[in-house]
């Protein structure tokens, strides 16, 4: 039995209000907008795992091949919650959920299996609002898997301030956070210091620069230095790559 959401009496019922009449995703990429204002609650609907309450609208998708897909609600006028279920014989098996306000720039990435049917329920978060919900589904590109840092140049002032410049390259659009540290042995003592870098990265080399002084009381001077870097890079599709390495370089003195 379907029950109307409060305030829905004057609004038109969406054609995909019930799971049995779910809108079929026939090809990717796919985008559709439906209203949740008149969405009804069916007692047989599975519960939401992301605090989606009130009536639901439904989509269904049968995977044509094994692949990763990306799901988001960009363009919606309602704070939406999406729950994804997999058809398992006569029942639905919960897979994952997505709350568009928690990170609207980061879609939900799912692996789907050829020939398997999936159902997507769209509800308002907490049941507090209703409006137009835009459902987007597309095949995912390969996630980030590699990031390479190159330290290209190093200078040092008379006061011992070191500036290192270089580039970072990622095999997908991403954001990188890494620390660059320098170490220079000077007779019996060692100068050490470093600074963090936060920068976008892509397939095209992105320039970065850090400036730091020694934190050991021993100043950096012209000459050889070992540079080390370590950190991580992330894309918005849950791809991740470690950033690390080291190399010897020469600091050139500046005035």
- Selection from 131, 39, 45 nearest residue 85 by Cα: 45
Q: Is 21 helix (H, G, I), strand (E, B) or coil?
A: helix
Output 154 or 13, whichever has higher pLDDT: 154
Output 125 or 90, whichever has higher pLDDT: 90
| CATH assignment at residue 153 | 2.60.40.1820
- Selection from 50, 217, 63 nearest residue 123 by Cα: 50
Residue 101, pLDDT > 90, answer: no
Most confident of the ranges 76-80, 84-88, 99-103: 84-88
For the chain, give the percent of residues with pLDDT over 90. 57
Question: Does residue 99 sit in the same domain as residue 199?
Answer: no
What's the structural domain count of the chain? 2
To 10 degrees, the CA torsion angle through 63, 64, 68, 72? -60
Question: Does residue 166 sit in the same domain as residue 51?
Answer: no
What is the spatial distance between Cα 229 and Cα 86, in angstroms, rounded to a whole number?
A: 43
pLDDT at 9: 46
| CATH assignment at residue 40 | 2.60.120.380
Q: Domain boundary at 116, 139, 162, which?
A: 139
What is the spatial distance between Cα 17 and Cα 160, in angstroms, rounded to a whole number?
A: 68
Question: Does residue 7 sit in the same domain as residue 59?
Answer: yes
Structure tokens at 91: 């029942």
Question: Does residue 134 sit in the same domain as residue 171?
Answer: no
């Amino acid at each position: 039995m379907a029950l109307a959401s409060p305030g829905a009496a004057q609004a038109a019922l969406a054609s995909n209000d019930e799971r049995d009449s779910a809108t079929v995703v026939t090809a990717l990429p796919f985008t559709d907008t439906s209203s949740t204002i008149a969405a009804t609650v069916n007692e047989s609907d599975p519960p939401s795992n992301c605090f989606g309450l009130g009536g639901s609208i439904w989509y269904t998708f049968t995977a044509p091949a094994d692949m990763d897909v990306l799901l988001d609600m960009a363009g919606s006028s309602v704070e939406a919650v999406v729950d994804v279920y997999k058809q398992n014989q006569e029942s639905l098996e919960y897979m994952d959920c997505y709350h568009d306000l928690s990170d609207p720039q980061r879609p939900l990435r799912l692996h789907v299996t050829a020939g398997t049917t999936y159902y997507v329920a769209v509800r308002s978060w907490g049941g507090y609002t209703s409006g137009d919900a835009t459902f987007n589904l597309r095949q995912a590109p390969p996630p980030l898997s590699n990031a390479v840092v190159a330290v290209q140049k190093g200078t040092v002032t008379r006061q011992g301030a070191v500036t290192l410049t270089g580039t970072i390259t990622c095999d997908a659009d991403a954001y990188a956070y890494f620390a660059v540290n320098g170490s220079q042995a000077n007779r019996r003592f060692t100068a050490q210091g470093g600074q963090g870098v936060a920068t976008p990265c892509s397939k095209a080399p992105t320039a970065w620069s850090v400036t730091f002084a020694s934190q050991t009381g021993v100043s950096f001077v012209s000459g050889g230095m070992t540079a080390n870097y370590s950190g991580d890079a992330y894309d918005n599709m849950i791809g991740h790559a470690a950033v690390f390495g080291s190399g010897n370089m020469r600091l050139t003195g500046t005035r």
